[in-house]
């Protein structure tokens, strides 16, 4: 199997559905020799900030001299972004090898319930990290926590960033229900580190931690310096530092290494400022729910208070797009609405209607594509592209910020086949 065939194999999996349960990934891992038993993990869940926190933890431990695996999702452009060691993407030949090895194992599962895309990729990552002898793996949940395929590991620490409304159709329609799903990564006697401040969520997580005899540490925002933009990243940094401190006995890390790691961390597509040769500034931010839209609004008011941006906006239909438009539209001098490159895209016409209502003074236009929107904003000084990580991934590719073929279609799935 070559790389192109491996990617086609992944496309052909049941990637339009999600299997919320651990029986299948456990069996697939067992058929693969239980590679998770050879590895150490920090397991990270939460609504927003998971990726940034994972990137910070990876950077700190890499600065401390460890060989660090990083597993995250979704990817912006290349599938290989999901599986990295010391921030180097998994090689195409390794993807091909792993896919070729795991494909025959699928015959061991009922034809009507084969492993899903995410379950297969999870076990591929475990095999790769074990084969490459990673000393630590930063392990991000896909969706939720309790029944997420990543939850087959026993980590050194369970980390929960925050609890907000998102994916209610799968995780529950109250903060308490969502918190219970995220807190499902908590294991007996394994320390838990959180930044959760919602009282209802904190109570749920506290009770689950107590039931599991798991120590609970609540990280508070501090004044550490971090290379990522946005005041909210200070809280993510505090979470990463608290986690490192809780694990000092297992993995010693010096204050100097912590500082170095935070100053060199990189996480694409989150308040990422791109300066073009023309002098134009483009801010890329994958704000994809209400809480992250509010974070973007705060960042624009704090860091770009003297500039009123042109907004390029595309949102998925299954998000709270009306409220997101209400938050973001008033910030812009003009707005260009685009489709997200996804079957789940919200209607640009419906987005435009809300944006016009929320910003009657600004020009609101609908474009046929992101490329058209970028062409129409060539002469603008400051452009913000947001509303979906899928859209930001497309922007990263168009702006030449990533190499390789666009494999964003592998992120696609819909709820109607969830089982």
Rounded to the nearest 5°, which phi and psi values hold at 340? -80, 145
- Residue 197 pLDDT > 70: yes
Query: What is the reported pLDDT for 419?
Result: 37
Nearest Cα neighbor of 98 from 74, 124, 68 is 124
Distances (CA, A) of 123 to 185, 226, 249, 391: 17, 32, 29, 28
Q: Is the dihedral of CA 79, 68, 266, 139 positive or negative?
A: positive
Nearest Cα neighbor of 161 from 56, 26, 250 is 56
Show the tokens assigned to 29.
């891992």
What gap in Å lies between CA 29 and CA 128, rounded to an integer?
12
Buried b (16+ CB within 10 A) or exposed e, 185-204: bbbeebbbbbbbebeebbeb
Instruction: Give the predicted TM-score (pTM) of the model.
Output: 0.93
Strands across the sheet containing 41-45: 88-89, 83-85, 68-71, 136-140, 41-45, 157-160, 192-194, 216-218
Residues in CB range of 232: below 8 A, 6 or more apart: 49, 295, 298, 299
Indicate the average pLDDT of the chain: 93
Bridge partners (DSSP) of residue 382 are 281
How does residue 195 score in pLDDT terms, banded at 50, 70 and 90? very high
Residues of the chain with pLDDT > 90, as a percent, come to: 81
Pairing of strands 310-313, 281-285: unpaired
Q: What's the whole-number mean pLDDT along residues 369-388?
A: 97
Please report the beta strands in 20-169, taking only residues with DSSP state E, as ranges in sequence order.
41-45, 68-71, 83-85, 88-89, 136-140, 157-160
Q: What's the whole-number mean pLDDT along residues 158-182?
A: 80
What gap in Å lies between CA 278 and CA 381, rounded to an integer?
9
What interhelical angle do 3-12 and 117-131 show, nearest 10? Answer: 140
Show the tokens assigned to 376.
């129409």
- Residue 53 pLDDT > 90: yes
Residue of 270 and 72 predicted with greater confidence = 72
What gap in Å lies between CA 144 and CA 162, rounded to an integer?
12
Pairing of strands 136-140, 41-45: parallel
Residue of 112 and 24 predicted with greater confidence = 24
List, for residues 14-37, the tens digit of each pLDDT value: 654 567 789 999 999 999 999 999
How does residue 169 score in pLDDT terms, banded at 50, 70 and 90? low
Residue with tokens 């086609």: 8
Residues of the chain with pLDDT > 70, as a percent, come to: 95
Residue with tokens 């007996």: 188
**For the chain, what are the domain ranges?**
3-263, 272-401
Nearest Cα neighbor of 93 from 131, 58, 62, 63 is 131
Show the tokens assigned to 310.
């042109």
How does residue 416 score in pLDDT terms, banded at 50, 70 and 90? very low
What gap in Å lies between CA 262 and CA 257, rounded to an integer?
9
Query: What is the reported pLDDT for 251?
Result: 98
Are 320 and 327 spatial neighbours (Cβ–Cβ below 8 Å)? no
What gap in Å lies between CA 50 and CA 386, rounded to an integer?
18
Q: What's the whole-number mean pLDDT along residues 211-232?
A: 92
Residues in CB range of 248: below 8 A, 6 or more apart: none
CATH number of 272-401: 3.90.190.20
Domain 3-263 in this protein, CATH class: alpha beta
List, for residues 121-138, the tens digit of each pLDDT value: 999 999 999 999 999 999
Residues in CB range of 152: below 8 A, 6 or more apart: 22, 25, 26, 29, 36, 122
């Amino acid at each position: 199997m070559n790389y192109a065939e491996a990617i086609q194999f992944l496309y052909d999996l049941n990637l339009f559905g999600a299997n919320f349960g651990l029986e299948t990934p456990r069996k697939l891992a067992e058929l693969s020799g239980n590679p998770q038993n050879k590895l150490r993990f920090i397991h990270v869940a939460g609504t927003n900030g998971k990726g940034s926190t994972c990137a910070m933890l990876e950077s700190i431990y890499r600065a401390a001299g460890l060989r660090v695996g990083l597993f995250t999702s979704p990817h912006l452009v290349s599938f290989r972004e999901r599986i990295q060691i010391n921030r180097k993407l998994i090689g195409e030949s390794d993807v091909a090898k792993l896919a070729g090895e795991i494909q025959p194992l699928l015959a061991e599962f009922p034809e009507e319930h084969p492993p899903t895309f995410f379950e297969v990729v999870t076990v591929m990552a475990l095999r790769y990290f074990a084969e490459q002898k990673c000393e630590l793996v930063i392990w991000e949940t896909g969706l939720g926590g309790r029944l997420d395929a990543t939850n087959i590991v026993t980590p050194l620490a369970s980390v929960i960033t925050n609890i907000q409304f998102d994916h209610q159709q799968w995780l529950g329609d109250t903060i308490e229900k969502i918190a219970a799903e995220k807190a499902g990564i908590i294991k007996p006697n394994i320390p838990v580190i959180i930044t959760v401040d919602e009282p209802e969520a904190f109570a749920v997580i506290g009770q689950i931690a107590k039931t599991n005899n798991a120590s609970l540490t609540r990280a508070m925002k501090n004044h550490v310096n971090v290379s990522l933009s946005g005041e909210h990243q200070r809280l993510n940094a505090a979470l990463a530092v608290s986690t490192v401190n809780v694990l000092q006995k297992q993995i010693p890390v010096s204050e100097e290494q912590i500082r170095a790691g935070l100053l060199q961390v990189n996480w694409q597509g989150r308040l990422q400022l791109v300066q073009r040769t023309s002098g134009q500034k483009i801010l890329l931010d994958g704000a994809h729910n209400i809480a992250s839209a509010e974070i973007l609004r705060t960042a624009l008011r704090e860091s770009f208070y003297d500039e009123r941006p042109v907004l390029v906006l595309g949102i998925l239909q299954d998000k709270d797009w009306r409220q997101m438009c209400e938050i973001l539209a008033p910030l812009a001098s003009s707005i260009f609405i685009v489709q997200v490159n996804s079957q789940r895209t919200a209607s640009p016409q419906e987005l435009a209607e809300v944006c016009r209502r929320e910003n009657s003074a600004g020009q609101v236009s609908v474009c046929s594509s992101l490329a058209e929107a970028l062409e129409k904003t060539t002469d603008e000084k400051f452009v913000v592209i947001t509303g979906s990580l899928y859209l930001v991934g497309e922007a990263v590719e168009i702006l030449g910020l990533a190499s390789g073929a666009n494999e964003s279609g592998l992120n696609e799935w819909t709820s109607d086949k969830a089982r």
